Structure formats: C-alpha cells, structure tokens
C-alpha cells in the first residue's frame, strides 16, 4: 500500500472537471492520488471536512518593493501576506530600484527570493527602449514571468511612450507580454482635471478615455507584429467592449479593488484608494463584472502596491498611488462568490487555471496527478471582518479595514508544505521560482 507524505481528507475539491468530495494524497511535493484515501497511510493527515480545496491561487501582479523602498514592503513580508491570504505563488513587478531590466537584476531578485519568500514566485522583466532587442532572451531566463511594458506615466524610466518603442518590444517577444496601458500624452494633458461625479475632495485626473486610446494602440501594434499581449488592470466599460473583439490577441486582467470599490468610496477612503489606473464610477465596475461573466476577463491580479499610511496621508497629488491587496484577494472574492456574483469554479479559473493557461506555467494551476501540491483551502461559510491588525504587509493597513466578508482562507500549501493554517505560518520559507513551459 502506498504511503503518502500528506493526505487532505474529507474536503470538497474544486477543479477544472467540477466540484466534488475527494481526498488528495501528496508525495515529494507532488499530487500523487485523488480519490477515496480513507484507508491509506500518511505522515500527516489534514482534516478538511467542511472545507473546499482549490488549486493554489496565483497572483500574477504584485509589487513587493525589493530592492528599493523596503520600508513599505520586501519579498519576505509581501510573501508572508500572500500565504496568510491563501496565495501560493506570485509574479512580482519590475519597477524596483534598481529596475528589473537586465539579466543581472533578475538574477539578484531570484537570489533574494530563494528560500526566503513563503510562496513560489516569478519576476516580470521591464521592457525598455534599451533592452527591446534582447526581449526574447530576457523572457526565457530562470524566474522570468515574461516582459512587462509600462505605457502609463507612473513608473519613471520604465515608460515606453511611443508606438515605435512598443513595437520594438512586440517584434522580439515570443511569450505573452504584459502591458500597463494608459496614454502618456493625454495623461499629461489632463492632469489636474476631475472625472465628472468624483468628490471634489479627491480629484482623479486620469481621464477615462486614456485607457481606451492606449489599448487600441496596443492592439493595433500587436496585430501588426503578431504578438500576444496581456492587458493589466482593465478598468473601463469601453475597454471591456473593445477587447471582447480581440481575444485571439489579448488576455484581460481585472483587480479585486476595481470589482469592489467605486468612485463613491473616495468620500470615505480618500487617497487610501488612489490607484493607477483609478477606481472609477459605478458604471465601470458593473461593466467589469459583465466582462467577467461573459468570459472577456481571463485572470485576477491584486496589483498589491503598498505605501505607508504617512505617505498615503499626503494631499493629492503628492500622495502615492497604490494599496495593499495580495492578502485580501481571496476573502474579498469569496465574499463575491457568496453574494452570487461569480461561481467558485469561475474563481478557480481566474486565479489558478487561467494564469496557468495564459502564461504556460509548468505543473501548477490544477489539482491533478503529477502537478505541484499547491492548495488554497477555504471555508466558504466562515464570516470574518477584515482588520488592519490581520495585514502582514510591512505597511500594515488595508482599505477594507472593518469590512465584513463571508468566506475565508484556512490553509495554504506550497509544493506539499503546509505553509499556513488558521492564520499561522507553520513552515519556514521555502519559495522557489515558478517554471514556464515556454522557457524550459
């Protein structure tokens, strides 16, 4: 009889083939058996009765600030927040200091993360005018999630503002590249203006048309160069409608905060919810939900971008854009599941199967024999209130402080290790670089 290292017993599996009761056996960090394992032996048996076992959640957009302004966050604290929130792997962004735009900078991040991050990881490499011709080599380096291009204004020298520069990146990539899509010229022209309906106390100056203008440019360039693109944090009704016609080229990410908050919340939360791109009017949030239900939206990313409360308290526009999100992704979306806005299977598609499919992740994203034993174990019936005190990010706050939710992450397994259970970190940091089929 096979002896397993770990058996998850009595839970309800949510997977690509449906929802049903099953045990899961793990050997050497891999899923070894799915089914009735009531009589099997194991080094550890985890009682999952009353719980749902999901494939490990993958958050494909976080900013953990290291190297750079680590008074806000670092790879250890950010990944601690991730696993406490039920996230088993993250893709971290390149706008650190120094920027992640060279093989040496990427290797430095991987070295910092190995066996120090609590979850598995990959790092986006920033696409620039200078490194565009090397994009095909950069995107295949160990630990690289792919190439990320900033077409907006908030990222300094990472910005590629002209079509020629963006086209140069698209000409050389072979994997799917991610884009922050806002039009630089219009952003500069509109700075200081208010979006109609926004509270006068908080002028959100990013015009709604800038995102659509830039996204249209991006799609035209992707068609010309026959490249696959991933449009990050889509926020407008017009973008959703436009991108629905280009699913053969473009995948779409939305964030929990753009699905949950609206411009009406600025009066209460002010610059705490100042983001790039911004939290918008209710009609845009409603359109994002419609896009999610219609299958236009492919993945969820938290866009976790922490700043200290002192920094966020500065008057606009001196206040920085960004908020925490990696730890609250799972509970806020489970709350939406319980409210009937999406199914649990759709949540799994958006947070594990979807990222694995889009980015060709090796051995993750499904509960299947031979795959990494990454699990997000949740209690759909647990009512909790999100509090700042629960937030493990170094900045120590969330815009959802005081928000009651139904549905909570109980456990996080990473390659068979019980990293988090019932709000406690149980296993020393063992994070490894995520592998990608197009880079093996």
From 343, 344, 331, 349, select the one nearest 407 (Cα to Cα).
331
Catalytic, 264? Answer no
Residue 123 resides in a domain: yes
Same domain, 62 and 144: yes
Same domain, 49 and 67: no
Same domain, 240 and 389: no
Residue 41 has what pLDDT? 96
Residue 161 resides in a domain: yes
Residue 218 resides in a domain: yes
Same domain, 143 and 228: yes
State the total domains in the chain.
2
Low-confidence ranges of the chain (pLDDT < 70): 152-157, 183-207
Same domain, 70 and 38: no
**Cβ neighbours of 238 (radius 10 Å):** 18
Residue 207 has what pLDDT? 62
Maximum C-alpha span of the chain = 70
Selected catalytic residue, list 120, 183, 303, 374: 303
Same domain, 166 and 275: yes
Please report how many Cα atoms fall inside a 13 Å half-sphere around the Cα of residue 404, on the Cβ side: 4
Tokens of 128: 């620039």
Same domain, 320 and 309: yes
Same domain, 340 and 320: yes
Final residue before a domain boundary, out of 359, 385, 415: 359
Strand order in the sheet with 424-425: 18-21, 12-15, 52-55, 375-385, 404-414, 417-421, 424-425
Same domain, 61 and 136: yes
Residue 184 resides in a domain: yes
d(CA 392, CA 291) in angstroms, rounded, equals: 32
Residue 364 resides in a domain: no
Residue 202 has what pLDDT? 44
User: Prior bond to 119 cis, omega within 30?
Assistant: no
Strand partners, 23: 35
End-to-end CA distance of the chain: 34
CATH of the domain at 435: 2.30.40.10
Residue 147 resides in a domain: yes
Same domain, 239 and 265: yes
| 318-341 confidence digits (pLDDT tens) | 999 999 999 999 999 999 999 999
Residue 141 and residue 134 in contact, taking contact as beta carbons nearer than 8 Å: no
Residue 197 has what pLDDT? 41
Residue 380 and residue 337 in contact, taking contact as beta carbons nearer than 8 Å: yes
Residue 203 has what pLDDT? 42
d(CA 375, CA 326) in angstroms, rounded, equals: 16
Same domain, 96 and 237: yes
Residue 200 has what pLDDT? 38
Residue linked to tokens 């964030």 = 255
d(CA 266, CA 248) in angstroms, rounded, equals: 36
d(CA 10, CA 264) in angstroms, rounded, equals: 43
Residue 231 and residue 243 in contact, taking contact as beta carbons nearer than 8 Å: yes
Q: How many residues in the chain?
A: 440
Same domain, 65 and 21: no
Range of the domain at 231: 56-359
Residue 63 and residue 90 in contact, taking contact as beta carbons nearer than 8 Å: no
């Amino acid at each position: 009889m096979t002896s397993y290292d770990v058996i998850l017993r009595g839970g309800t599996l949510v997977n690509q083939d449906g929802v049903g009761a099953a045990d899961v056996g793990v050997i050497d960090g891999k899923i070894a058996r799915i089914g009735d394992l009531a009589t099997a032996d194991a080094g550890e048996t985890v009682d999952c009765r009353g719980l749902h076992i999901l494939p490990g959640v993958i958050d494909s957009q976080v900013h953990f600030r290291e190297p750079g302004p680590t008074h806000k966050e670092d790879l250890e604290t950010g990944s601690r927040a991730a696993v406490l929130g039920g996230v088993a792997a993250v893709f971290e962004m390149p706008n650190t200091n120094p920027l992640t735009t060279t093989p040496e900078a990427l290797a430095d991040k991987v070295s910092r993360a190995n066996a120090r991050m609590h979850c598995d990881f990959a790092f986006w490499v920033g696409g620039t005018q200078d490194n565009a011709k090397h994009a095909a080599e950069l995107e295949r380096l160990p630990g690289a999630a792919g190439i990320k291009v900033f077409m907006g204004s908030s990222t300094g020298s990472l910005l590629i503002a002209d079509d020629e520069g963006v086209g140069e990146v698209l000409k050389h990539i072979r994997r799917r590249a991610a884009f922050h899509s806002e039009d630089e010229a219009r952003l500069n022209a509109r700075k200081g203006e208010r979006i109609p309906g926004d509270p006068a106390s908080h002028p959100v100056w990013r015009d709604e048309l800038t995102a659509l203008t830039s996204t249209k440019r991006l799609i035209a360039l992707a068609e010309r160069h026959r490249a696959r693109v991933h449009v990050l944090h889509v926020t407008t009704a017009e973008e959703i409608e436009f991108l629905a016609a280009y699913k053969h080229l473009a995948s779409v990410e939305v964030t929990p905060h753009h699905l949950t908050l609206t411009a009406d919340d600025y009066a209460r939360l002010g610059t705490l919810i100042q983001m790039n791109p911004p939290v918008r009017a209710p009609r845009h949030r409603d359109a994002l939900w419609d896009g999610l239900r219609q299958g236009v939206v492919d993945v969820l990313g938290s866009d976790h971008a922490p700043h200290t409360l002192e920094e966020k308290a500065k008057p606009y526009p001196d206040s920085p854009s960004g908020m925490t999100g990696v730890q609250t992704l799972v509970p806020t979306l489970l709350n939406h599941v319980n409210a009937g806005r999406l199914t649990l299977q759709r949540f799994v598609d958006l947070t594990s199967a979807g990222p694995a499919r889009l980015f060709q992740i090796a051995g993750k994203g499904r509960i299947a024999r031979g795959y990494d034993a990454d699990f997000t174990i949740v209690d759909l019936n647990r009512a909790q209130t999100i509090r700042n005190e629960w937030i493990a990010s170094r900045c120590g706050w969330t815009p959802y402080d005081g928000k009651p939710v139904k549905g909570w992450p109980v456990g996080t397994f990473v390659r068979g290790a019980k990293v988090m259970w019932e709000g406690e970190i149980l296993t020393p940091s063992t994070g490894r670089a995520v592998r990608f089929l197009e880079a093996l």
